[in-house]
Amino acid sequence: MIALLLDQGLAPGAAAILRERGFDAIHVIEIGLDRADDSDILAAARLQNRTCVTLDHDFHTHLAVAGQGRPSVILLRIEGLVAAEQADLIGSICINCDALLTEGAAVSADGRSLRVRRLPLR
């Protein structure tokens, strides 16, 4: 099962719901990274072998510039979802993209479709 690190823009409750569903999910606020910059959050995800989940488009840019194969990043391109809706979408992505996220991938989801690119981004 994919381990997840949810970024500040996502509801802390989404991490709790995902844990109730059997996912290893934490929110940045739970580990004192709620004020950290993107590179520090990505570094924490890499060190903890977690996939980072974010609403921030800059995370994919950071991956491309760094040229690294980890961590995987899921970019949710839908704002305004409540915690349960976020958890539903994140859980579905993890189930459908498990192998790709394990290998290293940048995933974008807009609610209708998924775009998956293998890491490192070029």
114 band by pLDDT with thresholds 50, 70 and 90: very high
- pTM equals 0.95
Other residues' Cβ atoms within 10 Å of the Cβ of residue 16? 16
With 0-12 / 13-18 / 19 or more C-beta atoms within 10 angstroms meaning exposed / middle / buried, residue 86 is buried
d(CA 8, CA 56): 9
Instruction: State the CATH class of domain 3-118.
Output: alpha beta
Q: Which two tokens stand for residue 74?
A: 């899921």
| Amino acid letter, 22 | G
Q: Which two tokens stand for residue 3?
A: 């381990």
Question: Residue 111 pLDDT more than 90?
Answer: no
Domain-wise residue ranges, the chain: 3-118
Give the CA diameter of the chain.
37
